[in-house]
Structure 1
């Protein structure tokens, strides 16, 4: 039998506790199993490590020497594992417009403890998460998630109206959200933040124009096919010569969610990023 890591951990725990019962409990082992592991270690090393007496726990000279080596090996290994875990990359997927302030702060804090964040622009972050191509999805749409995913709200963004620059609404002031319920609406069905149900009293005859990504949505609005709603950061992050962003005082806010897989269990680096974020 070759020397294994479990032999070193069992021996170190026993020397720390100086009692088989307490050491077995610490290692989540039955006491007979711990005893057999120590006996295996002595056979592998071909020497006696412990003087077994009914009243006290004593190491032999060989045992004391080997304990020093075992603790150094375990400490080096634990440090190497911790360092590699901290340096693990976490991939975050988003469909459009990362929230600048939040992401910069989360990335800085995560990378300050040795982690690394990769960002991926994908049309459908939930599908990418399900496929395992990203670890965490940043999403702005409230949806029913698969059973193996969980979500956390990390903030809310003020929403503005997006209209064609040539639209009479482009220069309007004092608009109210309900007043917009009858206008044709452009809806990004995959990752958009609003649809016809975003109005408490929707117009049943309203024209709905659909698309599946932000770029297409922006072009449809610019072409005058309908109005849209978008987080306010689009003003600076997604300017378009054919689109005007208009304030609507009572527009409902857009929530931001982090979504991750719960099955299989998230890695430690993903858990650490979620704690930081």
Structure 2
């Protein structure tokens, strides 16, 4: 038996996720079938590629070397197929402010590496956009509770307070996280990064004002309906004349993640994830 493409894809999926459960979901096959495929590959090559226990999956030394070769081979093959199919863009969703110029650098690197256009699309409901196929991948700052969605944390950035320019707090140079929780807090329940659970028990805000998107959130803060918290990058890219952003040294950081559906794990998406990871976090964080 010769090595087949299905063997390589199975190995790559397990090697990347370090999980037979996640890999089988990604490949849309059962775990027993995936296990047999990996065993066939190891028998053909006459080498052990993976060390598997009941709790973990690790690459052997030959497995690590083979993984690097397989990733390059599959990437080149998938991109060649994408070109033949006439795929011209990757749709990248987001709900609100992204770090810039970091995100521009990521998209430029992707376009130069693949010849494919990266299209940024703003969507308030990222989960629905991913499910419908409206976007292929998305930048998110909130948790997505869906077992069909894979997420990867790229980096964390500082969180700053947001207060109305009419509030006495606007004169402050710094605020503490617990102090911020003493005021009514405006919460973007659909795509926001701040929830009352981030405060310790006994320090959680007594009142929250809920909204559905970033525009409503910043408008409510500007109207002095409550205070808020947002990533540092948002304070630079989405300023508002009626809002003052104040540093907080003790606030929990905000993770920026990539999210995509396992079933739509295309060649272009995998290349985008790879390049985004290589980009690292913005230097100013």
Partner residue in 2 for 1:248 = 248
CA contact (8 A) 1:196 1:202 kept: no
Partner Cα distance (2:92, 2:111) in 1: 14
Alpha-carbon deviation of 1:210? Answer: 0.2
Question: Number of matched residues?
Answer: 204
Partner Cα distance (1:256, 1:268) in 2: 22
- 1:90-115: CA deviation from partner (whole Å, max 9, x where unpaired): 11100001221331221111111212
Partner residue in 1 for 2:258 = 258
Alpha-carbon deviation of 1:143? Answer: 3.8
CA contact (8 A) 2:82 2:267 kept: no
Matches within 5 A, 1:125-140: 125-140=126-141
TM-score, structure 2 normalization? 0.66
Partner Cα distance (1:109, 1:161) in 2: 33
Partner Cα distance (2:3, 2:260) in 1: 32
Range that drifts further, 212-221 or 235-244? 235-244
CA contact (8 A) 1:88 1:115 kept: yes
Partner Cα distance (2:111, 2:206) in 1: 48
Alpha-carbon deviation of 1:234? Answer: 2.4
Secondary structure in 2 matching 1:251? coil
Are the structure 2 counterparts of residues 238 and 176 from structure 1 closer, same or farther at C-alpha, using a change threshold of 3 Å? same
Alpha-carbon deviation of 1:80? Answer: 6.4
Are the structure 2 counterparts of residues 186 and 205 from structure 1 closer, same or farther at C-alpha, using a change threshold of 3 Å? closer
Q: Which segments of 5 or more consecutive residues in structure 2 lack a partner in the other structure?
A: 6-77, 277-285
Matches within 5 A, 1:11-90: 25=2, 81=81, 83-84=83-84, 88-90=88-90
Partner Cα distance (1:118, 1:202) in 2: 44
Partner residue in 1 for 2:61 = none
Are the structure 2 counterparts of residues 203 and 80 from structure 1 closer, same or farther at C-alpha, using a change threshold of 3 Å? closer
Tell me how large the CA RMSD over aligned residues is: 2.4
CA contact (8 A) 2:181 2:205 kept: no
Q: Which segments of 5 or more consecutive residues in structure 1 lack a partner in the other structure?
A: 1-23, 29-77
TM-score, structure 1 normalization? 0.68
User: Highest CA radius of gyration, 1 or 2?
Assistant: 1
Are the structure 2 counterparts of residues 211 and 248 from structure 1 closer, same or farther at C-alpha, using a change threshold of 3 Å? same
